[in-house]
Structure 1
Amino acid sequence: MRRSAPRGLSLVALACTALLAACATTGQDSPPSADGSSSDEDANVLPTGLDYAANPDPYPSTYRGLPRENFAIVGGTVYDGAGRRFENGVVIVTDGKVASVGDASTAVPAGYRTVNAQGRYVTPGVIDVHSHLGVYPSPGVTGMSDGNEATSPNTAQVWAEHSLWPQDPGFNTARAGGVTTLQILPGSANLFGGRGVTVRNIPSVTMQGMKMPGAPYGLKMACGENPSRVYGGRNQSPATGMGNMAGYRAAFIAARDYKDKWDKWRETGEGTPPTRNLQNETLAGVLDGTILIQNHCYRADEMAMMIDLSKEFGYRITAFHHAIEAYKLAPQLAREGICADMWTGWWGFKMEALDAVEANAALVDAPEGSCAVIHSDDAELTQRLNQEAAAAVAAGRRIGMNISEEHAIRWITLNPARSLGIADQTGSLEAGKRADVVIWSASPFSVYARADQVFIDGGLAFDRMNPAYQPVSDFELGQPGFGLSAANVPQGAR
């Protein structure tokens, strides 16, 4: 269909021009304040650490959230993500935060809108800790394959957010699957692939409009076949597992030297500061604890070596990703406080992925202090992480493990938040946390369950029954079959 608008101009932007309220309801960035800060009360509060850069947060979040109101969800079966279950439960949301969660005796404040969830289930928003949406977007064409800086074994200097295309339609389909927060990671071709970014799954014109305020950065590392295959084939190091380990060690030695020079300069103030090195800045952030390690690693023996590596250089591993053999060292992972971010049914696609069991998550979850997580690494699987978790529950029950649904829901909610360092803000329906809530048509562990409504920070981000809350990206609006009509202009803009 021929369109009168110039192709370079966003149709959402045109709608915002005509209907000012649309900008807020589609997640369009509000103008920043005079100092460039966000209006979100937690905006841009980064972990304190070594100031290697004049501006440690040069690409600050401008996240504003969606329009919201105070409301109560009543009558549903509530899994709060922290292990509690409430039949005929009540969730009170005030100013975008969870105010209280309880049973039917919980009083609903006067003036609050009531959402009837009778016969349905209520959970925290789903969190996907391993996504490449926006950096490997759909359409999946070469010109938009932006997730792997496969130019050197160490590309710790690159940041996934600088490749993130916020118009990827995959964000919309993930939201329809209940996903409210994602970690967008670079690929796994490198020993050090670069920084990931945690985003809130709202429509936005810019990356900064999705970027979660205050969420710590994660550094993507990869062990095993990927880096040795990518670089060994080019007749360069690493070509083997021992080459991988040598590469990690050399990089951290350089980063520790860099950190020491900055420490000395700050302590003495003598001379000029060391020359900035983007690669070492990221690795020094790992050493000082402000950047989390997100480590692609399949085999148990290699995970054990990576743990020893972390002790050699004094940093901590936050999570092993894919972790197909995590069940073999579940007690050690629990002792070390390391999350295992896993699939249930993906295995056998390469040698290091052969020794898999479907009960991996259930077995990792068993020791005290464990952190089992179900992730996607896939634009389609992210739409049904609840089903992937359900398969893991079923596999655990088949081998005699008593796993309740109210406990297992944390595999896609609270534990992922822990893996990202944001469990104090989201991942469970507890007072004071962000009101990231999904109302499901049936038990989320049923293959028939669909996300009926999805709230992010208390704002309605998706409603299966209302086309006004089924956002489409600017990219989709520019395609035949989509158009800017009353059906896809949010209600606040009408």
Structure 2
Amino acid sequence: MRNRAIGTVLAGALALAGCSAETGGVKSAGAPPAATTASKSEVKDQPYPSTYQAYPGAPTALVGATVFDGKGGRIDKGTVLFSDGKVVAVGNASLAIPEGYSRIDGTGKFVTPGVIDIHSHLGDYPTPSVASHEDGNEMTDPATPQVWAEHSVWPQDPGFTRALANGGVTALQILPGSGNLMGGRSVTLKNVHSRTVQGMKFPGAPYSLKMACGENPKRVYGGQGRSPMTRMGNFAVNRKTWFEAKKYAAGDRKERDLAMETLAGVLDGEILVQNHCYRADEMALVLDMAKEMGYKVTAFHHAVESYKIADLLRQANVCSAVWADWYGFKMEAYDAIPENAALIQQAGACVIIHSDDENGIQRLNQEAAKAQAAGKRIGIDLPDAQVVGWFTLNPAKAMGIDKVTGSLETGKMADVVLWNGNPLSVYSRPEKVWIDGALMFDALDPQRRPVSDFELGQPGEGDVK
């Protein structure tokens, strides 16, 4: 029966990493991994703190592989050492390997930091995609900053294990949907098995506010015969809400208001802003609104026209989280071009490759390669080591976790992927994936290929031996 099957695989997953059900599915390997300092807003109004603790790992030396460190560096025949959940050292073949380290021969292979997706809806719009699973967008009001994405995350979503095994994804940000002008708070997760979302929450990661402009909000609410139904209506509702937030933030804040607490956190600089926006003219207007209200946009998502204002984005220090080539599925995507990412990079602005899709998250490396190739066709030849940063360090920066992950540097979390070939090749796949130094996936070992409980089938479909 399915209940027995679930218990069998859950027990196997826990035993795989030496876990204990008594700690919520994760056995501590000592102190939780180091993380960014929790923000004031997190300490003040976070009744659902992270209970994440790293799975236990072993001292490991990856030797002989080509190493892309995530920050633009490349080491041929490199060595990566990690122990106790942290990167110990990164260097060339002359780097000494301490006693007690297990050697893994990476000759002909490649090593990168763990892949990070800044824009995911896994857990909130899980597989299978049925109406009862649509929990990612509270489309009952144009502004719902009071909702938190983590309160909808379903840890059993098979998308998590697929992203780990097929895409090398070690961390991801779950965002509310884009039907609202203000959709609510995001949550950043470590891509590990846990029975609860608290057990997946990236310790110390700041929250983000998901905002949206353009067609989505005006279509959703204009279609209901209410405001906003135009782009000018979008900005009017936004500005009115921000004025209310500024008034709340300037007061004593003694009276709890969940929506205003989130917006005050943005104005305090403690909560980041991830803004769904397609058109260049709207992104420029949003930057003006941010100046008026006193907040900063961290990243524009989708941003298919960023190439038109890449200089403005560079000056404002705003990232563009983009697809390689999604185009034309609605009017505001009409001027999308495959050279977008390369042109943004050429202008010196920040580029991130994101998914927004349960399938795309499994091949962010290939999407980056497609965008790199499009740039090369127009004479923008970007080195592989730089492009790897589009799905490692750059999203970490825009999620506020770059001090602890996103690149292979001494002291950072040992979130590491060993690829069986160049990650920017369509023929390459993750061979091994470590999260905080624990081997969470191994393509060569059937016992280390995690599977979601939900993929076991329905009652009557057989049993697990």
Please, what TM-score do these two structures have when normalized by structure 2? 0.95
1:135-193 residue CA offsets vs partner (Å, 9 max, x unmatched): 00001111111111000001100000000000000001100111111000110000000
Residue deviations 1:291-333, cap 9 Å, x none?
0000000000000000000000111000000000001111111
1:458 and 2:437 matched: yes
TM-aligned CA distance change 1:241 to 1:198, over 3 Å: same
Report the CA distance shift for 1:428/1:141 in structure 2 as closer, same or farther (over 3 A): same
Matches within 5 A, 1:468-479: 468-477=447-456, 479=458
Judged with a 3 Å threshold, the aligned counterparts in structure 2 of structure 1 residues 3 and 248 are, in CA distance, closer, same or farther, namely closer
1:386 matched residue in structure 2: 365
Kindly provide the amino acid, as one letter, of the partner of residue 393 in structure 1: Q
Instruction: For residue 44 of structure 1, report the CA deviation from its aligned partner.
Output: 8.5
The AA in structure 1 aligned to 2:201 is K
Counterpart CA distance in 2 for 1:482 and 1:182 is: 33
Number of residue pairs aligned between Structure 1 and Structure 2: 462
Provide the secondary structure at the position in 2 that maps to 1:415.
Answer: helix
Report whether the alignment pairs 1:42 with 2:34. yes
Letter of the aligned partner of 2:82 in structure 1? V
1:23 correspondence with 2:19: yes
Contact 1:74/1:115 (8 A) holds in 2: yes
Aligned-residue offset at 1:289: 0.5
* Equivalent residue, structure 1, for 2:313: 333
Instruction: State how 1:24-423 maps to structure 2 within 5 Å.
Output: 24=20, 28-30=24-26, 39-42=31-34, 45-48=37-40, 55-176=44-165, 177-262=167-252, 273=254, 275-368=255-348, 370-423=349-402
CA change 1:484–1:211 in 2 (3 A) is farther
Question: Does structure 1 residue 433 correspond to structure 2 residue 420?
Answer: no
Q: CA deviation at 1:47?
A: 1.8
- The amino acid that maps onto 1:307 is L
One-letter code of the match for 1:23?
Answer: C
Cα distance between partner residues in 1 of 2:313 and 2:151: 32
- Structure 1's 16 and 437: CA in aligned 2 closer, same or farther, altered over 3 A? closer
CA distance in 1, matches of 2:158, 2:436: 21
Relative distance call for 1:362 and 1:481 in structure 2 (3 A) is: farther
CA distance in 1, matches of 2:265, 2:130: 34
Q: Is the 8 A contact 1:27 1:64 kept in 2?
A: no
Letter paired with 1:395? A
**Other structure's SS at 2:143 match:** coil
- 1:261-296 residue CA offsets vs partner (Å, 9 max, x unmatched): 126xxxxxxxxx3x2111111011110011000000
The one-letter amino acid of 2:76's match is E
Distance 1:136 1:209 in 2: 19
**Distance between the aligned counterparts of 1:148 and 1:372, measured in 2?**
26
User: Alignment partner of 1:164: what SS?
Assistant: coil
Deviation at 1:45, TM superposition (A): 3.8
Partner Cα separation in structure 2 for residue 475 and residue 88 of structure 1? 41
AA partner of residue 175 (structure 2) = L
CA contact (8 A) 1:166 1:205 kept: yes
Note the C-alpha offset of 1:474.
2.1
Q: Tell me the percent identity.
A: 54
Deviation at 1:128, TM superposition (A): 0.5
The answer to whether the Cα contact below 8 Å between 2:422 and 2:428 also exists between their aligned partners in 1 is: yes
2:311 & 2:288 partners in 1: Cα distance?
16
C-alpha contact 2:18 2:56 (8 A) present in aligned 1 = no
Partner of 1:88, secondary structure, is strand
Shift, 1:99, TM fit: 1.1
What is the rounded CA distance, in whole Å, between the counterparts of 1:452 and 1:244 in structure 2?
46
In 2: Cα distance, 1:167 partner to 1:146 partner: 14
Cα distance 1:16–1:98, how it changes in 2: closer, same or farther (>3 A)? closer
Distance in 1, Cα, partners of 2:303 & 2:261 = 27
Instruction: Could you tell me which runs of 5 or more consecutive residues in structure 2 were left unpaired when the two chains were aligned.
Output: none
The residue aligned with 1:270 is none
Offset, 1:335: 1.1
- In 2, Cα distance between equivalents of 1:377 and 1:40: 29
Q: CA RMSD in A?
A: 2.3
Note the C-alpha offset of 1:28: 4.6
2 CA distance for matches of 1:44 and 1:12?
A: 33
Structure 1 pair 484–107 and aligned structure 2 pair: CA distance change class (3 A): farther
Alpha-carbon displacement from aligned partner over 1:411-455 (angstroms, at most 9, x marks no partner): 010101011011111111011111111111111111100111111
Matching residue's letter, 1:143: S
Q: Is the 8 A contact 1:27 1:204 kept in 2?
A: no
Identify unmatched segments of 5+ residues in structure 1.
33-37, 264-272, 486-494
d(CA) in 1 for partners of 2:21 and 2:350?
35
Check 1:87–1:393 CA distance in 2 against 1; reply closer, same or farther (3 A cut).
same
User: C-alpha separation between the residues in 2 aligned to 1:474 and 1:308?
Assistant: 47
Contact 1:70 1:112 in 2 (8 A): yes
- TM value normalised by structure 1: 0.89
Equivalent pair of 1:286/1:292 in contact (CA under 8 Å): yes
Change beyond 3 A, Cα 1:25–1:201: farther
